[in-house]
Amino acid sequence: MEMFSWLVHKYIMHGALWFIHKTHHEHNKGFFEANDLFSIFFGSIAVILIVSGLQDNDFKLWVGVGISTYGLLYFVLHDILIHKRVKLWNMPKSLYLRAISKAHRDHHKSLKKEDSCSFGLFFVSRHYFNLNKKSVPKNSQAQD
């Protein structure tokens, strides 16, 4: 799912559908943004696959469950931890989560579709882990 998400983000969201996705890169936005249409679209596909897979008793059920699981994890990490659209937690001290957050901040530095980097969410460059090692005190315990 991460590779599919990376490809869609880089070539479709930052390509032909930039006019929708750019609302996510704008600084003055409300709680809902046009970019949320992507979540509705992929969530709908997952529901259709799950229902069809239950009716046909086949693999579509598990494809839908996989999409749903990825979507839930994405929502928690991206919308709650990184963008704080729902204010539940502060950013944990985990090197992994801090690296993801830094990569995503770098992705949002540009308001243009061509100048972005770090299109994935769960897999980020080793570069971001090295940056975070310097910013976490040696005696701190990583929290998840």
109, pLDDT greater than 90: no
pLDDT average, residue stretch 44-69: 97
Burial of 13 (0-12, 13-18, 19+ CB in 10 A): buried
Over range 117-132, report the average pLDDT: 85
What is the per-residue pLDDT across 12-38, written as a single tens digit (0 to 9) for each?
A: 999 999 999 999 988 777 788 999 999
What is the mean pLDDT of the segment spanning 68-81? 93
**With 60 as the cut, is the pLDDT of residue 81 above it?**
yes
Give the CA distances from residue 21 to residues 10, 15, 52, 61, 141, in Å, rounded to whole numbers and listed in that order: 11, 9, 29, 29, 36
Mean pLDDT calculated for residue range 26-52: 92
The pTM assigned to this predicted structure is: 0.80
87-99 average pLDDT score? 84
Q: What is the pLDDT of residue 136?
A: 45
